[in-house]
Structures are given as C-alpha cells and as structure tokens.
Amino acid sequence: MFTGIFKDTSVRVLIVFMISLCFISSFILPDWMQNNFMYGLSRGLAILGLMLLWRTNLVSFGHALYYGFGAYAVALCQKYFGITDILLRFTIAVAAAGILGFFLGFILRKYREIFFAMLSLAFSMVLYGLLAKAEFLGSTDGMSISPSTLFGLELTRQYLFFLITFFVICAAVSIQAYLRSTLGHLTTAIQDNEIRVEFLGFSVQKAIHIKYVISACLAGGAGGLMAASLGQVDPDSMVNWNVSGELVFITIMSGSGNILAPFIGAIIFEFIRTYAFEWAPQAWAAIVGGTLLTIIFFFPGGIWSIIEKVFNYGKKKDVK
C-alpha cells in the first residue's frame, strides 16, 4: 500500500510544509500562533475527511457527529479511566468515531445528495440532543480536559504541537496512499458513473462505506486532538449543526485539490476567526459569512486553486 509513497510529490510537499511549519512556529513566530496552527491542523483532519466524501459528491452536514464523538470519547476516557496519554487519546478518538461510522455507514451508504446531507444532520443532532440534556455528560457545559501526557510525562504545548503535526502527517500520507490506490480512484469514478462501476464488478455501496468510515475516523481524530489542545469540550462548539456547517465551509474554502489543502484552509480559518474576534467582537459571524460567500462566488476552486495559480503546482499530480 505504501510502496514508494515518499516519491509522491504531494506527500513530499506535505512533509516539508509540516516540518517547516514546526520550525518557523517554534523559532520565528510568536508563541500564540502555535495555538492557531494546532487547532488548524487538528481541524484539518476533519476537513480532509469531508474532502474525501466531497470527491464522491457526498456532503455531510452532520460531520460534527464524529468530530464531537471523538472529542467526548477523549473527555469520558479521562473522566472514568483517567486516560490522558496523547497517543491513547488519539487512538481512542479515531476508533470510537470509526466504529460509529461503520454502523451508521450501513444506512448512509444508500443515500446520495441532499438526503445524505439531511440524514447525517439528523444523526448529529440526535447526539447533540443527548449531550445538551444529559447531566452526567456535562450537558451544555461539556467537560474540561486536563493537559495531555506522553508515557506518563507532562507534555508541553510545544511537544503537543509536534505530536499533532506528526499525527497529521501520518494521516495525510495514508490518505494520499488511499487516493492513488484503485479503491481511491474508484470513489471518484463512482461520482462519475455508478452503473459502470457496478458492471466493472465492484459494489458501489461498499466503496462508499469504506470511504465513509475513513472520513469518520479522520473527523474523530480531529475532535480528539482538538479536545486535547483546547482543554475543553462542549456540545455547542463540537456537535451542534452550525459546527458541521463550519466544517463544510472550510472544506469548500480549502478546495479538494490536494491533501495539503484542508490543513492550509483550516489554519487560515483559525486566523480569520482570531482576528475577526479581536477586531469586531460583535460582527465576527458576519466576517466569516462574508468570507464564505466570497469564496463561493469568486474562488469556487477554493484556496488550493489559488495556490495552484500562484505556484502552478500540483496540476498533473492531482487525482481528479
């Protein structure tokens, strides 16, 4: 599966980008930016997951379900089993979301277009309904999460950031491996012509199911890392419908061109949020909404299309 993956241009660029990001953020940029990078990279994983679905023309308006599920998995494992190890946290978040995705996948893989979007929304809101009302799950307060450890040692923000970057690299590289595989191409083919795929001898639903679980895992992992780096989870900022909307927004903003796109997009979003909030605390939503419309109208290809224009890079390597 991974044979010669490091010869892949996208992968090389990704790795160089991530490493240089670690470098400049620890030596050149002010510390606070590290937070934005951390959140950006974590959320980027969820965006990557949505990007995969988007390539099969499936848009989930309920991906906060897995995002929040991963986050709460981390929170609950700390509350009941005192687990704070970052590796465990990440694994648990991914696994939890993956399992949930696997089961819901049996239903969702039959759905397309707006029905897919609506059903995912419904599922996520079911979880929201539970979390917001159930006192033992912290209801709308959510729960606070203590700093992560690694093999029992306290992790500084610095190292947490490095670890997150590491997780992100691993995830993104495996996704690239998936995308260049037959299965990966198949899912883009499905968007093009389902009947043909069936007659080529592969089950469309199975292919979509696999992809769905992958994207659930990514979203879960994102939620887990987000919880770990923020130190807090709550339903309104993790599971509610507008969180899902936000995720889809970033996906469109990033563009589906390349595995690096989601992370750049998510990081940019973090900075937009930070500054919108600092400069116009009463109009930050409008700023976000404005950006959204601008992207849709003037840069339908998302940020990545701009990057391609600037560096005229990635055109041939692009899977689409």
Partner 1 sequence: MQFWATVFLDGLTYASYLFIVSLGLTIIFGVMKILNVAHGSFYAWGAYTAAFAIGIITDNDLPEALFFPAILLSAILVGIVLGYIIERFILRKMYNQDIHLIVLATFGVFLIFEDLIIITFGVDPYLPYQPAMMLGWVDIVGLNRGVYQLTLILLASVVAFSCWYGLTKTKWGKLLQSVIYDREISEAMGINVTKVYVVTFIGGAILGALGGAYVAPTTSVSPGFAIDLVVLSFAVVVIGGMGSIPGALIGSLIVGLLRAFAVHQAPILELFVVFAVMAIVLIIRPEGLFAPPKARKI
Partner 2 sequence: MSSNIVLKASKLNKSFSGIVAAKNINVSINQGEIVGIIGANGAGKTVFVNMITGYLKPTSGKIEFLGTDITGIEPREATHIGLCRSFQISQVFMTMTVKQNLMIAMSLAKKSGKQLLDPIDDDEISKECDSILELYKIKDQKDNIVSTLSQGIRKLLDIAMAVVGNPKVILLDEPTSGVSVEEKFGIMDIVIAALKKTETSVLFVEHDMEIVERYVDRVMAFYQGEIICDAPPKEALSDKKVIEYVLGH
Partner 3 sequence: MKIKIFNKTTKIVSATMLAATFMFASPAISKDTVKVGIVSFLTGPAAGVFGVPAKQGAQIVIDAINNGTMPAPYNTKGFAGAKMNPVFSDESGGGTKQVGLFRDFVEKQKVDAMIGYISSGNCMAIGPIADELKMLTVFSTCGTPRLYEEKLRTHVFRTQANAVGDSMAAAKYIVDMYPNEKNYTGINQNYAWGQDSYKFFELAMAQLSPGSKGSDKPQFPKLFVGQYGTEISALSLDKAKVVHSSFWNGDIEAFTLQAMVRGFFQKKIFVSSVGGSAVDALDKKFPDGIVMGTRGNVGLLARDDKSPLNVWFIKEYKKRFNALPLGPSYQYARSILAYKFAMDKAMAKTGSFPTQDQVIAAMKNIKFKSFTETISMARGGGHQAVHSVGYGLTKYNKKGKTPGAEKVKMYGPECIYPPAGTKSEDWINAGMPGAKCN
Give the residues lining the site for partner 3 (CB under 8 A). Answer: 9, 12-13, 16-17, 20-21, 24-25, 28-33, 35, 39, 132-133, 135, 139-142, 144, 146-147, 230-238, 271, 274-275, 277-278, 281-282, 284-285, 307, 310-311, 313
Shortest distance, position 189 Cβ to partner 2, whole Å = 5
Is the Cα torsion angle 166, 292, 142, 232 positive or negative in sign? positive
Dihedrals phi, psi of 283, to nearest 5 degrees: -135, 20
Which of partner 1, partner 2, partner 3, none has residue 142 at its interface (CB below 5 to 8 Å by kind)? Answer: partner 3
The smaller minimum CB distance to partner 3, of residues 29 and 292, is found at 29
The smaller minimum CB distance to partner 3, of residues 85 and 234, is found at 234
Which of partner 3, partner 1, partner 2, none has residue 61 at its interface (CB below 5 to 8 Å by kind)? Answer: partner 1
The smaller minimum CB distance to partner 3, of residues 74 and 214, is found at 74
Q: What is the DSSP letter of 257?
A: S
**Host H or E run for residue 228:** helix 204-230
**299: Cβ contacts below 8 Å, ≥ 6 apart:** 255, 305, 306
Binding mask 159-178 for partner 2 (x = CB under 8 A): ------------------xx
The smaller minimum CB distance to partner 1, of residues 137 and 160, is found at 137
**CA diameter of the chain:** 56
The smaller minimum CB distance to partner 2, of residues 93 and 197, is found at 197
CA gap 20, 7 in Å, rounded:
19
Q: What is the DSSP letter of 256?
A: S
Which of partner 2, partner 1, partner 3, none has residue 307 at its interface (CB below 5 to 8 Å by kind)? Answer: partner 3
CA angle (302, 306, 312) in 5-degree steps: 130
By CB under 8 A, residue 199 contacts partner 2: yes
CB 136 within 8 A of CB 76: no
> Looking at the chain, how many residues does it have?
320
